[in-house]
Amino acid sequence: MNAVKQLAYSSMLAFLAHFRLLSDAAARSGGPDPLSAGDHEILGTMRQLMEGLTLEERAILLADAAGAGSCISAEKRRQSARAEQKLRRLLLVKGVLRG
């Protein structure tokens, strides 16, 4: 099964929310709701897509997706906008984001 072909999101926020959900679930090893094999494959594919970003860009986007960006500086907003554009391009090229 090709996880990239099955990934389809209407927005970057949806992609990031799903990424956070799967990442958080994977981090809870031994928890009551472990990831299925398909979820692990999807998370691996999502991680590969996110590798196109720097660590700082990933941190900014994940903080924004978690709602931590309510009081940020103008520079952080610019960094966030650049990171969003970069991720958007990556997702569009891979066919993961619906234009």
**Where along the chain do its domains lie?**
3-93
Q: What is the pLDDT of residues 66-97, one digit of tens each?
A: 665 556 688 888 999 999 999 999 999 999 99
Six-digit token pair at 89?
Answer: 């391009």
Q: What is the pTM of this model?
A: 0.80
Q: What is the pLDDT of residues 32-73, one digit of tens each?
A: 667 888 898 999 999 999 999 999 999 999 887 666 555 668
- As beta bridge partners, residue 9 has 97
Six-digit token pair at 16?
Answer: 């990031």
Residues 6+ apart with CB under 8 A from 10: 97, 98
- Whole-angstrom distance, CA of residue 16 vs CA of residue 55: 15
